[in-house]
Amino acid sequence: MAKKRAGWERMLYRGTAGSTASTSVDDNVVDINIDTGPEFNEHTDRGAGTNLPKKTEQPVALAINNLTFSMIYKDSDANMAAFLVASRTGAAIAIKIVRYSGGETEFDGDCYLEDSSPGGLKDGMVVEFTGHPTDDEGRDWTVGT
């Protein structure tokens, strides 16, 4: 049975690092989160010391502050297996996150993954993955506007 989706939900795709992800990862995905924005550096002018300075910051890099997705573990899930292999070997994997309503691509790039689970892997448990964007495979990551 197909999933019923709200317009704000996201879809996840995976693929080989260095190319655009095209394999849909849908069946066992529980949650997909991505927070983007610049990373900031403080550059406050301390002044003469007669008044408290006002803290000021400037953007120094575009950043993915949080890219996570959770999946329900199933022994026969090829997508889960691919993510676990990438996470546990340190290999990059292509990730694409698309908004269900309108099809806007919110992230497209290669990531190194980390995984966490509450114990040994078994059917039905939730495994959370954290993505760390990279351009090591020669492909720059992009985010939607």
Tell me the C-alpha distance between 96 and 112, whole Å: 13
Return the pLDDT at 101. Answer: 81
Residues 6+ apart with CB under 8 A from 131: 64, 67, 68, 69, 95, 111, 112, 113
pLDDT average, residue stretch 116-135: 92
Q: 3-state DSSP: the chain helix, strand, coil percent, rounded to 5?
A: 10, 50, 45
Alpha-carbon torsion (111, 114, 120, 125), positive or negative: negative
Architecture of domain 10-36+64-143: Roll (2.30)
- 86-90: long-range contacts, CB 8 A cutoff, minimum separation 24: 86/112, 86/113, 87/113, 87/114, 87/115, 87/129, 88/115
The model's pTM: 0.83
pLDDT digits (tens, 9 = 90+) for 10-66: 999 999 999 999 999 988 998 999 998 889 999 888 878 788 888 999 999 988 989
pLDDT digits (tens, 9 = 90+) for 51-109: 888 899 999 998 898 999 999 999 899 999 999 999 999 999 999 999 888 889 999 99
Return the pLDDT at 8. Answer: 57
User: What token pair was written down for 125?
Assistant: 């448990």
C-alpha R_g of the chain: 19
Domain residue ranges of the chain, discontinuous segments joined by +: 10-36+64-143
